[in-house]
Chain A
């Protein structure tokens, strides 16, 4: 009998390894379905192009700008939007619903790893492929809509870091929402409410500076604008150094809040699952 216990690597090395393997698997899947993914990305471009055409038309009718934003700046905003939106694709509450309903969560619960870590790694793995696929789309949109942007090196660096921040905040928020499925079975209505709030309070529908002052004040107390408006503005909005670094700190704050929220909800949710799941 060979009963020699199997050796383990350190927890940190294990965690890094999980992220790397999840990313490798995500890249392999993306490449396998590259045509379908590209169609999906092209479909996603429709939303910002509609916003862009509307605002460029309004700007043209108002003498070239709306609230100080020119047609070229609108173009920059919404073209960068397409990248931020793709980076913001995360494991959705619908995924949680399906995972619980089909019993796949049981297999994950048997593993010595917090399932959200797997999701974070997997969707992070999509991003390099997404960025590559995005480049030609951005190129053609730029040819058509003539964006204007002059970011500083610091703005470019902050933009790059803020993409990761946006991804983490949105992942953690949506995981917390998804965990509601443990109680409600269906998560759709709650998720739709979340998306409505996100559209209005994140800069996804329109740049936040076009929103009424009270909406902007409200948005300051919520996480949404740090997932859309801030990363886009970091690159195209001529933000001051204080605004750029303050934005990153705000993202860090919401990542911490999101992590705590997921942990707390998970504790109750898994207890609920293990109490009722047949």
Chain B
């Protein structure tokens, strides 16, 4: 066996020289001739007889050559060489296929790499599909939350879960007090948290049960980032005492590098949740502390089953809720993936659909081009077959060509994909989960390449597979009819898909312009928002916080060019803002609003300059005045929407609210009505709003959310350093964050902008591909019909006649495709509904403009090759017969 292999190998390397074989054959013939002459034959006749007996010399030579192991490698090289020559002769075809493959593979791979993380990639936990987020949901908090009182009961009585673990409701600021203080994000979770997610610390250990108790030993775990950057990856970090918010705590573990919190927050320091079951029935009005709750489903239990099993427990909990909250609170259990990807999913699915569509177009295109080329080469194939090429050889040749093309296209595609992913990640807004982790996914790239190359190979070889017909040798137009039909259908399909893609993208574009153009109800230009992270450690009373801000306010007012310095706890239209229920308000002298009706109201606690700074007009009554800030009365200003809802047809000025859940003290008096401001994000319906005066009383300065807005006549960039120096002149250790309001608003529009860009890019890719296909087909058909055109012209047809003839053919495909595409687009556009803002899914403008645009572009793609077709000289084509 081995010796045989070695022999083969030897012959593979040392080829037998051709001369040797020639010499051998010559010897054979000489012998044959000599024998015959010896038998008395005439020498010439002897030679003739010997040659006949021997058979063909050249076939023998070839046959011998073919015995050599690995001889086919040579023919492959020959095929490749031949293929390149063919490409060079037919650059239009080659470029069309390459563009198609590169764009198709590139675009689909890039977008799929991005979408994959959102839709399909498992989360970085053990058996992530069995982890759920559970708890209550309420119109004011749509993410599941849990209250300690009920958690204690659930832990005892639940059946569907193998484990439960709570995490703090969110990260909060904390100070790491070392040689120089720094502000970090802190969070807490239970000792059962990491095991539930199947995570073990990169260094050290998880919390022990005795540490996860009230008044347990003070320990923390730190993030990998904090360990690496702040502690330089110090291996002796474990058991080190660090000072967090003035309390010495011991580091027991470092979280893994790629660990992500299920809430997708970033935290530097984690402390034990330390739930105290004993007090949960008394604190927070008997509800217990708030938390986020996660659980692992027992094997075989589905989310729906778990929901059904938890429902009785939840119903039992409801009786503790106040009547107003009862009707609005629901039990929610959903998989972690659903929680993490939330509203990214519709977009991701739409993108995924677009990906498939573009891939389909690319495949159809390659198939169509390959078939066209195959049909055009029937004559060549027939000739080659006639002079002795075997079927296998012809098929191999076709296969080689397809593979060479596909390979080149695939490589170009992957390069494009890599570049596109980088662009996408750069463009992507921060809100889309996981996108920063997106990287070129080679599996997808290979998949896309395989699919589109397979199309090319199948259709490329298909033409070589049929026996070349002798008729092809003399026939001028050898395009077989059924292939022509198939090719037309392919192009029609492409047009239809492009229409679908384009109308989808156009709808999003219209929606996006609507978002950009809408009136926010406030001025944003020239306004600077300033966030100051006041360390709670030193500013530990509301009084100290207030003093700081009042000092800051007066020093900022002294800056040149300042028009207004306002303070508020939030800024519309997005981000955190306080909210309460309309039914929490009780107007003096009127019956209370039935609980659970009227929806939610945005609450904002502002100083008088807020309205001046953002240029929000006061419609009735007056603005807060500076002297109100020191008065005893609590003034409020209503938004127009709230005023209309509470006091329809009445003058709201002077009305009083009784003290209640949102109005404290002795109640509040309405002094004015402000115009509506967009306050629920850019795309949602605005909520009614109530502005409360932020008085210079320490009680008004609680809470974690405070920011300063500065409206200045000076350019924003110029006042930034002044603001910074004013802050540091009051307290130089406090970090300042500043951003022009314009920019933060712009960021809000990032998400729709990103979606629109991505889908628009896709639709354009699809369009380009479809047009390339159309152009290629028309060009091909025109050359195929050169003879026919020649005859027609010889018989007196004008160029215009011919042009019409060809264009009609193409336009029929375009019209058919458009009609089908429009139908499907109209039928499926409702899937885009959640992504659209103030644009109907049946937006007439879109559905008129898109087919028009496509038809125009298609017309150009038809006319160019058609015109080239009419330039045919009848004399030349006819003579070519």
User: Is B one of A's binding partners?
Assistant: no
A residues sitting closer than 8 Å to B (CB atoms) are none
